[in-house]
A and B are shown apart, each in its own frame.
Chain A
């Protein structure tokens, strides 16, 4: 069983280990176990009531099936209720929500990406959940998810999970280079150590790179991917109150961090500015940045690849990006109680366990962490430590989409060799203008 061998570079993730959760979940789905995890008590719905639920479609069908299954289970526990579940591609979803809201057609319940909570609150698109959610239930959430779900001292949406990215690596490639990546946070590589390793594993021939050291999972790498690289060097995107980018996004620390990031692509030629599909999975890159769900997906799809996980490097501090999909209730719904019933079912303790096991994501609830012992073991322990001790939330501002685009555009330019300072000065100026619109 190649996937279960322990290499010198560290412990590769056994396919069996990772698949076990997914297989178990699939079996659970098939046997209708989900029906049991959706609470049966609830508000009594009028006959033929329809509840609409929208989410962003996952590339892995099992996750979509799970979400669809939540809808079916809710129907069975709530006779007379029809849950109309609709999934949209990520690229269309948020625009769809906006236009649906303009047409007074939003679904009762929908996925909310947590950085957008501020915008939805500003535009009065979602309702506060404070009157609905029980304090005892809130206490079950870890502080970081509690922070994510809260804006202006109110709770607006409940998380499906927690997630953060670390470095996934090709075990064989590091074995070959006799490199052993750290699996505990106190031995985490510094940026310079990571550079040394990257220089050792990159392969060049006839002036061309034939194997990259590092490639991000998402292209172009946006704010979510870059933020830990900024934060580890003391860089910031916005002021703590989320009202200014000038002085933060173009501060010396952020410029220095962005320059380091850009050099990986241009000066050092360690990362591709435009990857071919599955750069890491097909062995064209030795490291990639991914969350537990990405890890599970790669292990499932590339059977001959031995994958390990180590922490993102540190500089002045350690840093891990964080965030998760939440579920919120539309301000336009005419059946708020039923919508809440659905939200509390899908994010409830039992469903949370089911979702975490199915996806490979990390739990937002303490009870789930206690119930799933595998989370304390490698590789989940790496993700868990990184998230708990180094997590950096994305900026909270109603102008988040604009901030995200401006930072992503600047990062693309810097990746192509444009000097960081003018690119960030321009981005910071644009962001300040945009944020001023929301005052």
Chain B
């Protein structure tokens, strides 16, 4: 006796493993985290008292939280345009396919495959104050030693610069894929009409990369708001809380002080911030492209 599945049933079965994975590792932990955020949970005591929204309201008076939110936003404002611009510039530079260009592509992409912890450690050594390699170079130019990561005005921009160096290779790759989708005929026609390189970029490349740029901006913004590793490795939130960012604050609350309820509440606030920003970016940039 032969049996057969209805096509839609077969479809459901095909997606079932993915749905189960999503439930087990995405949806259920998310719901659990929300439940934890309503309790005074310390990772050990299973009967953590229910505190309602107290963990959320406590954030309103948590000065470190507001500092972290301000710093994270400032970091995103520095990093996202920088990483996008550098990534696009690199992609334009390495667009032609030759052997030497392939070597350049690989070298620009190299920082992406370096461990973030190792990269942060290297930058810490390079910019060590006051007698590190970078300060020794500055001394040759008679520039007084800088504090770099120990300076409250320099630390966060330096971390943004480091992150840009680390991740621009990814942005470059995304833009490269977009550039390869643009038909060569458009450039040929523009060339025949006498358009120079800058004009071709302004009238062909940039408009046709609009969807890619939207994607890059959204992804880079999300990643920027999740900044953690260099802060953990190099500055630990200092000096004077100048590099205290949301995820590091969350980590300290959750895994050092074992305030899992507060940390979960903080993670949901971070989720809302990121979702709001991503939605805004989609709306504004989509509106631009349709207008």
Contact = CB atoms under 8 A, between A and B. Distances in A.
Interface of A: 95, 98-99, 101-102, 123-125, 206-209, 220, 272-276, 284, 399, 401-402, 405, 409, 412-413, 416, 418, 434, 437
A273 B130 contact: yes
B132 A402 contact: no
B231 to A, nearest CB: 13
B150 interface: yes
Contacts of B130: 208-209, 272-274
Interface stretch (B2-10, B234-242, B273-281): B234-242
B30 interface: no
Contacts of A124: 44
A284 B131 CA distance: 10
Nearest to B45: A123
Contacts of B42: 123
A101 B132 contact: no
A418 B152 CA distance: 11
Interface residues of B, number: 29
B144 interface: yes
B19 interface: no
B237 A98 contact: no
Given A208-B139, A409-B237, 5 more contacts: A99-B255, A206-B139, A409-B236, A413-B240, A416-B240
A99 B43 contact: yes
Interface string B237-250: 11111000000000
A124 B46 CA distance: 12
Contacts of A412: 238-239
Contacts of A206: 139
A395 to B, nearest CB: 16
A85 to B, nearest CB: 24
Nearest to A206: B139
Contacts of A101: 43-44
Of all A-B residue pairs in the complex, the 4 with the closest CB atoms, nearest first, are A102-B43, A123-B44, A274-B129, A412-B238
Given A208-B145, A273-B129, A276-B131, A95 B256 contact: yes
Nearest to B149: A274
Contacts of A274: 128-130, 132, 149-150
Contacts of A95: 255-256
16 contacts: A95-B255, A99-B255, A123-B258, A272-B130, A272-B131, A273-B129, A273-B130, A274-B128, A401-B256, A405-B256, A413-B238, A416-B147, A416-B239, A418-B240, A434-B257, A437-B259
Contacts of B44: 98, 101-102, 123-125
A123 B238 CA distance: 30
A88 to B, nearest CB: 14
Contacts of A272: 129-131
B226 interface: no
B180 to A, nearest CB: 43
A279 to B, nearest CB: 9
Contacts of B151: 416
A123 B45 CA distance: 7
A276 B42 CA distance: 38
B131 A401 contact: no
A115 to B, nearest CB: 14
Contacts of B257: 399, 401-402, 434
A124 B241 CA distance: 33
A273 B235 CA distance: 12
B202 to A, nearest CB: 46
Contacts of A276: 128, 131-132
Nearest to B259: A437
Contacts of A275: 128
Given A209-B130, A273-B129, A416 B150 contact: yes
A401 B152 CA distance: 24
B252 interface: yes
A284 B257 CA distance: 36
Interface in B204-263: 236-241, 252, 255-259
A331 to B, nearest CB: 10
A416 B129 CA distance: 11
A284 B130 CA distance: 12
Contacts of B147: 273, 416
Nearest to B135: A208
B152 to A, nearest CB: 8
Contacts of A207: 144
A308 to B, nearest CB: 25
Contacts of B144: 207
B174 to A, nearest CB: 34
A345 B215 CA distance: 61
